[in-house]
Structure 1
Amino acid sequence: MVFSRLLLKRHSVLPGFDLALGVTLLYLSLVVLIPLSAAFLKTFTLTWDAFWEAVGSPRVLASYRLSFGTSLAAALVNAVFGFIVAWVLVRYPLPGKRVVDALVDLPFALPTAVAGIALTALYAPTGWIGQWLPFQVAFTPLGVFVALTFIGLPFVVRTVQPVLEDLHQELEEAAATLGANRWQTFSRVILPIVAPALLTGFALAFARALGEYGSVIFIAGNMPMLSEITPLLIVTKLEQYDYAGATAIAVVMLVAAFVLLLIINLLQAWARRRQGQAS
């Protein structure tokens, strides 16, 4: 038995625990921890009054409301329609299904600046779609919402799709046999199984939208107090050589995003625990 353990350890594909842990911590430190620490350290050079002046001015607060509000709204919309798109791709034999499936990944491959220019060309007052709308989309907060919805949809679809593929239709048939209607089958059988993946897709879409820059600046109009997102405000302060002010706003965004993602992860754990108890 001891010999078999030594043999398994010797022929293991992955390196030993100490080496793997060291490489992991080194990589995370170089890529994540050190840059984030630099942002916090630069922010600490400000006095308390200067910090609050940098992160609490009316222009900055307006950018917070726009960035967090539109990111949350876009993630919620993507959670609903991303689930529908994933359901259709999994359950229905559509003509050109592979083409539609490939188009879902287009926001992943498309440069964000190209996406922003394309959306602006479509939704501008003289654009193909914008000229027929009774309201203006481009250069307004609604344009920001459209851009964030566009870049966030694949996260939900690709997170939910594998779970739906593993969901056997026999469960739905069993629920129908026991007298459940379609809504009861969806709410009590399908949704509890898909909920953790759906929350994960929502969290990924929200996090991506919160830090999005390239696809938004073209369609937003970038008007202070109206359609100026927080990432653009950070870039503006960097161009003005106000590095401490830029990092202060970035730290506020980082802490707020971390708290929101922590809450979402707790909800995911609760959903998985509830699903395990039900099974």
Structure 2
Amino acid sequence: MKSKSSRNRGFLPGFGLTMGYTVIYLSLLVLIPLSVLFLKASTMSWGEFVGTILDDRVLASIRVSVVTSFLAACMNAVFGVLVAWVLARYQFVGKRFIDGIVDLPFALPTAVGGIALTSIYAENGWIGQYAAEWGIKIAYTPLGIWVALTFIGLPFVVRTVQPVLQDWDLQMEEAAATLGATRWNTFIRVILPHLLPAVITGFALAFARALGEYGSVVFISGNMPLKTEIVPLLIMTKLEQFDYAGATAIATVMLVASFIMLLIINYLQWRINKFDAAR
């Protein structure tokens, strides 16, 4: 009879070698570049660092980026679940086509997406002209930024939730219906708790991607300081002005904020999974 250790062995090398490759890979591509970022920011004095971050233009760009990214991630969390539900539950003509369209923001160069969105939502565009008749301006406003960030973030939620729905046991819903639960109660009390970890993961990925998005936003935002300027654009502006320390200071703050957000999201997922396991 094979021992437990021999049964657990796979075709990959042992733990020591694979762990070594993992550490080297992450160090070269993640840890060392991020460490250099902190080292570059440390060349500034504390007063210069705080003064850079608390500048009105920097605070305005952070506010625009965070608010629009959060609202776009919330929108994608709702409609991403609906799209994933349709793709996982129903068979219809053109399903493969729609399923492929979901991945389009992944494959499409972000600059191309930004140009397309701007041409559509500008005041003389196909959609923007009708919105303008109602006094709604989309392009070159925070609303346009929100549209662009929603566009690039949708696939993260759909591709995270869809596999969970495809593996879902329909007998759970049948049992709930047998006990007299309505469709809405079944979704809220049976399906949604099972989907929630995937939804939170998709939300976090969409939010993180939106915070760092540049190409699709730079065209539709208008790049007006204190109004529609996003953090990545401000960092690029400082780099073009050879203010490397200021650019790295802003990037460091966004990096720390993103890291804290991911820690919170992972903690919430752990709590939800722990709660589901205890039920």
**TM-score, normalised with respect to structure 2:** 0.96
After the TM superposition, which segments of 4 or more aligned residues of structure 1 sit over 6 Å from their partners? 5-9
Distance 1:258 1:6, change over 3 A: closer
Aligned pairs for 1:238-253 (under 5 A) are 238-253=239-254
Q: Distance in 2 between matches of 1:97 and 1:12?
A: 37
- Quote the offset at 1:183 in angstroms: 2.0
Task: Give the match for residue 16 of structure 1.
Answer: 14
Task: Give the match for residue 275 of structure 2.
Answer: 274
Equivalent residue for 1:128, pick from 113, 126, 136: 126
- Quote the offset at 1:252 in angstroms: 0.4
Amino acid at match of 2:119: A
Task: Give the match for residue 179 of structure 1.
Answer: 180
Task: Give the match for residue 82 of structure 1.
Answer: 80
Equivalent residue for 2:98, pick from 97, 100, 103: 100
Tell whether 2:23 aligns with 1:25. yes
Task: Give the match for residue 140 of structure 1.
Answer: 141
Q: Distance in 2 between matches of 1:181 and 1:5?
A: 47
1:69-128 CA deviation, whole Å, 9 max, x = no partner?
111100010000000000011112222101000000000000000000000000001111
Q: Distance in 2 between matches of 1:250 and 1:277?
A: 41
- Quote the offset at 1:5 in angstroms: 7.2
Distance 1:175 1:63, change over 3 A: same
Choose 176-185 or 240-249, whichever is displaced more: 176-185
Q: Distance in 2 between matches of 1:155 and 1:8?
A: 36
Task: Give the match for residue 151 of structure 1.
Answer: 152
Distance 1:48 1:209, change over 3 A: same
Task: Give the match for residue 210 of structure 2.
Answer: 209
**Structure 1: stretches of 5+ with no match in the other structure:** none
- Quote the offset at 1:4 in angstroms: 5.8
**Structure 2: stretches of 5+ with no match in the other structure:** none
1:3-61 CA deviation, whole Å, 9 max, x = no partner?
8678768x841112111111110110100001100010011110111001111100000
What SS is found at the alignment partner of 1:219? coil
Amino acid at match of 2:276: Q
Q: Distance in 2 between matches of 1:86 and 1:6?
A: 40
- Quote the offset at 1:234 in angstroms: 0.4
Q: Distance in 2 between matches of 1:236 and 1:17?
A: 45
Task: Give the match for residue 60 of structure 1.
Answer: 58
1:128-163 CA deviation, whole Å, 9 max, x = no partner?
110111211000000000000000000000000000
Task: Give the match for residue 50 of structure 1.
Answer: 48
Task: Give the match for residue 162 of structure 2.
Answer: 161
Distance 1:61 1:186, change over 3 A: same
Amino acid at match of 2:13: P
Q: Distance in 1 between matches of 2:24 and 2:242?
A: 31
Q: Distance in 2 between matches of 1:273 and 1:8?
A: 28
Identity %: 64
Tell whether 2:67 aligns with 1:69. yes
**TM-score, normalised with respect to structure 1:** 0.96
Amino acid at match of 1:200: T
Count of residues paired in the alignment: 276
Q: Distance in 1 between matches of 2:225 and 2:6?
A: 65
